[in-house]
Amino acid sequence: METSSQRQGLGGARRNRISFVVNAVKVNSIRRIDVVWLALVAYVPFFLSSPGKISGDTKQYLYLDPSRLLARAPYLWQAHTGTGTVTHQNIGYLFPMGPYYWFLDQLGAPDWVAQRFWLGSISLLAAVGALWLFSMLGTKRLGSVVGALVYMLTPYQLAFIARISVLLLAWAALPWLVAITIRALNRGGWRYPALFALVALPCSSISAPTFALVLVAPLLWLVLAGLRGPAPWRQVVSTAGKIGLLTLGVSLWWISGLVLQARYGFPVLEGTESLAQVAGSSLPADLLRGFGNWFLSGSDQAGPWLEQAAEYGSEKWLTVVTLAVPVVALSFAAVMRWRHRAYFALLVVVGVIVGVGAWPYEDPSFIGGLFKDLSNKSAIGLALRNTPRVGPVVVLGVAGLIAAGISALDRRRTWQFVGAGLVVVLVVLGLTPVWQHGYLAKGIERPETIPSYWAKAARALDAQGRDTRVLEIPGALFAAYDWGNAVEPVTPGITDRPFVARELLAYGTAGSVNLLAALDRQMQKRIFEPSALAPVARILGSGTVLVRSDLQVNRYDVPDKNRVWSWLTNPLAPGLDSPDQYGSSQPPKVALFAVESPRPIVSTSSSQGSVVLSGDGDGIVESAAAGLIDGHELIFYSVSLDKAGLRSKVKKNASLVITDTNRRRARYWDTLRNDRGITETKNSQSSDSGDKRVDTIPGTTKSEQTFIDGDSVRVPTKLLSDAGKQGLESSLAIVLARVREDPKNRNVQSEESRITRLFKLPYGRSFSLAGTARSNVAKGSTTAFSEFCRDDLVSIDGVPVSVRVASTPIDTGGGRAITSCAAPIFLSAGQHQIITAPGVTAGVDVDRLVLASAPGGEAAGDPAANIGAPPPKSGATVEVQEIGETTAQVQVRSNGDPFWLVLGQSQSDGWHAVTSAGTDLGQSQLVNGYANGWLVRPEGPGSFTINLKWTPQNLVWWAIGLSIAAILACLGLVLWSRKRHDESVIFDAPALTGAWFYSEGPPSWRVALLGTIGVGVAAAAVSRPWIGAVVALGVLVASRVVSGRILLTAGAPLVLVASKVLSAPELGWLAILLLAGDLVAGWLRRPGDMTRY
């Protein structure tokens, strides 16, 4: 039974619809003033935040040189980065961020001004979109403005505004997308679907998962429209199809990037935040407050990433204020009648359910568990792991309920102004940390202009040409300089020279990532051997080693600059020239070391005398440190060769190297130092969720990995058995290295205190022995390095081997050479075991042993000599005539002998080589641990051209062309389609109603029980069984008892408050599900009409 106040409210709503045209005119005439005020709120705080400073937002190269960034953005393969890499959504900078910053740069605007205008514009667009949506649906001016403020000033933006503001484009676009969807459904035609596609264009290109999450809101409108009845399902499906088709068309350009990245790129998602990390913050109540994003709680040695976020965690009054906003929204949902109440309430409910994701990670809900399995087992699930980015949907739902609630107080003006004022005060107070510290974060900002010594160094690098690349050391998770935090290295943004450095995000393909990590890891662990640097630099095609000594050392545990400088200069590292120094300090801020006799990025090698190595990048680095390779060799991993291919190399005088690398162990991507687990047994594997191991060579079998076998480490020698007896005619080196830590740090224990190795030989041969040792810090011995022979350090098959440890260090780390005092060692066919003494008892830590055998099986004369020296000369020379990001044309002069053409970019199946005669050399083969190699068999002596091309780029050009056509078609549809103005179908003025009962009579017991069971099962699936039971009971009571509704309407906000007061986060689930239960109970009382609930 309806009360007089309810009838009066309904009558007011009808009168508002009758006078819609008049009201619409008033709203539109006032909105311009509202937009001005919203603009002030949007822009002024940003311009007052750290004036003159650049925040490390999204992409540093937008500020350093947007023209250079735009020029590279269309190419999925970028030769300038990471020894060549498939970029991750870099193509998205083609629009809108790239053109925006390029245009402002051309106008001469300071970078910080351009950045603040960008950020303020995102905020303004979000507010104006919300204002338009709420007004369109029938809320009053005051309610619309307050709702727009709630949406604009949400704490949700704080997780992104200073670091990855591009993700906020989806937040800004969401209300526009919903409003356009509404018009597309109500008006028909193609105009509004085209407009939807154009709005989606700028906010989807860089973060497709974020865009996909916010699409929940327009999709929910379409579903509700079909369920409600005014729009037939045929019309709903037609509208969705038009929107989907046109949005797909304008998005093909960046979708092609995702497709190619998934096919050819390194799995970079493994190196970013894990699902467990994300789920740790996505609590239901926090999502309602606008929080729930893991980035807000992030920190490093310098403190919180966002100083504003720290106060939200420590100040209880801020928790009260930010929680009060959704409490007000839930309260308004209980006391108003509005056609669109169900929609905005469902935005809150569905948004929170999606945003919670796999929380709590160790014990998620049934649905959360399914999502957890999907994320851990598929690339699509992993891409969608950041479920809290659905936050804009939740915030829009909260803002819409508040806008409608304020509007429903229209007949009680005092209450309306008090309510509006209260909400505005809560929203403003909720951003108190922002008003104190600004929107940006001091920990991730830098000055407008970078130091002059970097500009001078960049000019010097460019002057050296592009035949070789720059190797920048040491690696760092983020480029936090002592003059400011750029987040990303500045070098690629200020020079055209190809560049490689190790960062948090891995660039390249599996081989190049592995090799670079192997070199840099030794620096991070402070066990670096300078003798390895020049050979590995040559292998990587680096002609210059750039040492950056202006990093914040303690922030990301970067190796101490003085220690790095000592490694390279005391004495000068072999193979490097004396450095050019930039910056007035010691060590210099930037130093450039030229590599002696560098290997060009494009080169040739003889088909004779290659090196076949059993292992991975660690094996190359250890072999280089031992002096076995100098970087001019052509190296093949044995696991990349089949038996026939290996024997072919052996017939051509290949040298063989066995290492104890390529170990079976966990791999972690959130650190540069402790990025690997301990060595595992053959059949065990870490259960750590953070383990994201990637094979250097996909398809590597267990028999080709090093693993724990009892008390020893078993070294794979499949290389020797596959080589057959002919392998005896090749030189052989066995390199065994202890997994060790910083010898000067007594607080860190090495995985191995000594070397214990098992290996099998298919045939007997003699070996000479060498190695490296250092004083054991714990033992503190100073007499261990006297020049005398001792037999307590090394034993082979239980027999002591007499060795001498040199008294003079070979590097600043204290390493000393081990030489054998005994005759050459003969090892027969079969299994052998090598053991060294623990350093804590012997006073000496043996770090590495090398067993070397000459061709024919005799012991090598010098086990520390280059195994392939001198490398055979290639019968071909190469000259690069043209080179681009995805193409190269080279002129070859050959004596007619077969040779290998080496492209020193990350090996990718996308690279193809074709000679001028039309001979397709096919896909490349992995050489030098990371590069592309093609065996070329000339028809005879002479010159010819070879064209190299990364062929997948063709798909990108086609996609860009189709997207341009789709964009032009959408513009045409928007400009020339027939316009129809009729909002009466959706316009509905909110009105007050009672929170304690429904106006309709109760349903039958059958209907009530079926509805109760359904909602209970659904609630249990997305939360906990006990929550499902509570919600089901509430729905049953509310649907059958006259005043039973109060259990749901009052319960939702009260339970939400209790979730924080009692520190019981699962109650947040209950709060939003009680809101959902209220919708279901109302529908059960009047199942034919969903418009009223």
Output the DSSP codes for 668-681. Answer: -SS-SSS-B-PPPB
* Structure token digits, residue 379: 């690339």
Q: Which of 593-602, 815-824, 924-933 has the lowest mean pLDDT?
A: 815-824
Mean pLDDT of 69-93: 93
Tell me the pLDDT band of 308, cut-offs 50, 70 and 90. Answer: confident
In a domain, 14, yes or no: no
Q: Between β-strands 830-836 and 756-761, what pairing exists: parallel, antiparallel or unpaired? A: antiparallel
Give yes or no: residues 941 and 1022 share one domain. no
Give the separation between CA 900 and CA 920, rounded to whole angstroms.
Answer: 14
In a domain, 916, yes or no: yes
DSSP per-residue string spanning 66-120: HHHHHHHTT-SEETTBTTSEE-SSGGGGGTTHHHHHHHHHHTT--HHHHHHHHHH
Confirm if 576 and 598 have CB atoms less than 8 A apart: no
Give yes or no: residues 1092 and 1045 share one domain. yes
Give the separation between CA 279 and CA 275, rounded to whole angstroms.
Answer: 6
* Structure token digits, residue 398: 């909260």
Residue type for position 802? S
Tell me the pLDDT band of 14, cut-offs 50, 70 and 90. Answer: very low
Residue 1093: predicted pLDDT: 45
Give yes or no: residues 793 and 890 share one domain. no
- 3-state helix vs strand vs coil in the chain, percent to 5: 45, 20, 35
Nearest partner of 712 among 848, 834, 616, judged by Cα: 834
- The residues, ordered by sequence, that sit 6+ positions from 166 with a Cβ below 8 Å of its Cβ are 58, 92, 97, 206, 207
* Structure token digits, residue 675: 């990025």
Residue 25: predicted pLDDT: 35
More confident residue, 702 or 118: 118
In a domain, 1020, yes or no: yes
Q: Tell me how long the chain is.
A: 1093
Q: What's the angle, vertex CA 252, arms to CA 248 and CA 256, rounded to 5?
A: 135
Confirm if 287 and 357 have CB atoms less than 8 A apart: no
Tell me the pLDDT band of 24, cut-offs 50, 70 and 90. Answer: very low
Confirm if 292 and 391 have CB atoms less than 8 A apart: yes
Tell me the pLDDT band of 810, cut-offs 50, 70 and 90. Answer: confident
Confirm if 418 and 405 have CB atoms less than 8 A apart: no
Residue 2: predicted pLDDT: 40
Give the separation between CA 1088 and CA 59, rounded to whole angstroms.
Answer: 52
Residue 410: predicted pLDDT: 85
Tell me the pLDDT band of 800, cut-offs 50, 70 and 90. Answer: very high
pLDDT at 297 over 90: no
Quick one: angle between helices 1066-1085 and 1051-1061, nearest 10?
180
Mean pLDDT of 115-124: 97
Mean pLDDT of 847-874: 88
Residue 61: predicted pLDDT: 94
Give the separation between CA 1014 and CA 1070, rounded to whole angstroms.
Answer: 16
* Structure token digits, residue 356: 């919670």
More confident residue, 347 or 978: 347
Give yes or no: residues 832 and 922 share one domain. no
Per residue, the 3-state secondary structure of 991-1051, as one string, reads EECCCCCCCCCCCCHHHHHHHHHHHHHHHHHHCCHHHHHHHHHHHHHHHHCCCCCHHHHCH
Residue 785: predicted pLDDT: 63
Q: Which of 295-309, 617-631, 670-684, 770-784 has the lowest mean pLDDT?
A: 770-784
Beta bridge partners of 606: 899
End-to-end CA gap in the chain:
17
Specify whether the backbone of 683 is left (phi greater than 0), alpha (psi in -120 to 50) or beta.
alpha
Residue 994: predicted pLDDT: 84
Give yes or no: residues 928 and 1070 share one domain. no
Give yes or no: residues 681 and 814 share one domain. yes
E-strand ranges in 640-788 read 655-659, 707-709, 712-714, 732-737, 756-761, 765-775
Q: What is the pLDDT of residues 241-282, one digit of tens each?
A: 999 999 999 999 999 999 999 999 998 777 778 888 899 999
Residue 984: predicted pLDDT: 57
Residue 609: Cβ-neighbour burial (10 angstroms; 0-12, 13-18, 19+):
buried
In a domain, 231, yes or no: no
Backbone angles phi, psi at 930, to 5 degrees: -155, -20
Tell me the pLDDT band of 6, cut-offs 50, 70 and 90. Answer: very low
Predicted TM-score (pTM) of this structure: 0.92
Beta bridge partners of 359: none
| Final residue of a structural domain among 922, 951, 980 | 951
Residue 814: predicted pLDDT: 77
Query: Is the N-terminal amide bond of 230 cis, ω within 30° of 0?
Result: no
Tell me the pLDDT band of 986, cut-offs 50, 70 and 90. Answer: confident
Q: What mean pLDDT value characterizes the chain?
A: 91
Give the separation between CA 921 and CA 924, rounded to whole angstroms.
Answer: 8
Residue 23: predicted pLDDT: 42
Nearest partner of 544 among 594, 589, 509, 504, judged by Cα: 594
In a domain, 169, yes or no: no
User: Containing H/E element for 470?
Assistant: strand 469-473
pLDDT at 1090 over 70: no
Give the separation between CA 290 and CA 310, rounded to whole angstroms.
Answer: 15
Domain that holds residue 1065: 994-1093
Share of the chain above pLDDT 90, in %: 78
Residue 182: predicted pLDDT: 96
Give yes or no: residues 784 and 662 share one domain. yes
Give yes or no: residues 668 and 780 share one domain. yes
DSSP per-residue string spanning 162-176: TT-GGGHHHHHHHHH
Confirm if 203 and 173 have CB atoms less than 8 A apart: yes
Backbone angles phi, psi at 525, to 5 degrees: -85, 0
Backbone angles phi, psi at 997, to 5 degrees: -155, 165
Q: Which range scores top for mean pLDDT: 306-310, 407-411, 743-747, 853-857?
A: 853-857
In a domain, 179, yes or no: no
pLDDT at 779 over 70: no
Q: Is 801 helix (H, G, I), strand (E, B) or coil?
A: strand
Tell me the pLDDT band of 4, cut-offs 50, 70 and 90. Answer: very low
- The residues, ordered by sequence, that sit 6+ positions from 633 with a Cβ below 8 Å of its Cβ are 605, 610, 611, 868, 871
Give yes or no: residues 822 and 885 share one domain. no
Give yes or no: residues 846 and 880 share one domain. no
- The residues, ordered by sequence, that sit 6+ positions from 671 with a Cβ below 8 Å of its Cβ are 477
CA distances from 1088 to 345, 459, 888 (A): 19, 74, 68
Give yes or no: residues 792 and 756 share one domain. yes
Q: What is the pLDDT of residues 716-739, one digit of tens each?
A: 999 999 999 999 999 999 999 999
Give yes or no: residues 933 and 1076 share one domain. no
Give the separation between CA 469 and CA 485, rounded to whole angstroms.
Answer: 24
- The residues, ordered by sequence, that sit 6+ positions from 825 with a Cβ below 8 Å of its Cβ are 766, 767, 768, 769, 796, 801, 851, 859
Beta bridge partners of 768: 852
In a domain, 595, yes or no: no
Residue 1015: predicted pLDDT: 95
Nearest partner of 58 among 5, 98, 19, judged by Cα: 98
Q: Is 1055 helix (H, G, I), strand (E, B) or coil?
A: helix
Beta bridge partners of 591: 547, 581
Give the separation between CA 987 and CA 17, rounded to whole angstroms.
Answer: 7
* Structure token digits, residue 834: 């090598």
The dihedral through the CA atoms of 751, 757, 760, 766 has a sign that is: positive
Q: Which of 149-153, 220-224, 702-706 has the lowest mean pLDDT?
A: 702-706
pLDDT at 10 over 50: no
Nearest partner of 153 among 421, 396, 428, 390, judged by Cα: 428
Give the DSSP letter of residue 811. S
Residue type for position 797? D
Nearest partner of 346 among 271, 286, 400, 278, judged by Cα: 400
Residue 74: predicted pLDDT: 96
Nearest partner of 510 among 623, 386, 669, judged by Cα: 669
Give the separation between CA 522 and CA 743, rounded to whole angstroms.
Answer: 12
Confirm if 53 and 113 have CB atoms less than 8 A apart: no
pLDDT at 11 over 50: no
Torsion, Cα of 300, 306, 309, 313 (10° steps): 20
Share of the chain above pLDDT 70, in %: 95
Residue type for position 285? A
In a domain, 2, yes or no: no
Domains identified in the chain, total number: 3
pLDDT at 19 over 80: no
pLDDT at 21 over 50: no
